[in-house]
């Protein structure tokens, strides 16, 4: 299995998670900005999503690459 394929899988997984939390923040921007803390709440939520997305990218990347290596030898 080529290292370019493995790198592509990790990059696509990362882009998927990034698009996911950016869209979620965009849809919930009005609710987050109208809270008591305003922009601080938005930044805190952004950092939490970034942490969760990073963990998701790493775990799903390992899972997908393991499945790919298992199926293609």
Q: How far is CA 33 from CA 4, 18, 42, 44, in A?
A: 41, 21, 7, 12
Domain that holds residue 69: 32-73
Could you read off the pLDDT of 38-67 as tens digits, one per residue? 667 777 777 887 788 778 777 877 887 788
Looking at the domain assignment, is residue 52 inside a domain?
yes
Q: Report the distance separating Cα 70 and Cα 65, nearest Å.
A: 8
Looking at the domain assignment, is residue 14 inside a domain?
no
Number of domains in the chain: 1
The pLDDT assigned to 32 comes to: 64
Looking at the domain assignment, is residue 73 inside a domain?
yes
Kindly report whether the global pTM for this prediction surpasses the value 0.75. Answer: no
């Amino acid at each position: 299995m080529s290292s370019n394929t493995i790198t592509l899988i990790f990059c696509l997984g990362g882009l998927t998670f990034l698009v996911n939390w950016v869209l979620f923040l965009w849809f919930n921007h009005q609710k987050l900005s109208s809270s008591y803390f305003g922009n601080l709440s938005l930044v805190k939520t952004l950092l939490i999503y970034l942490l969760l997305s990073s963990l998701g990218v790493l775990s799903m990347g390992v899972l997908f690459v393991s499945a790919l290596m298992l199926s293609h030898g």
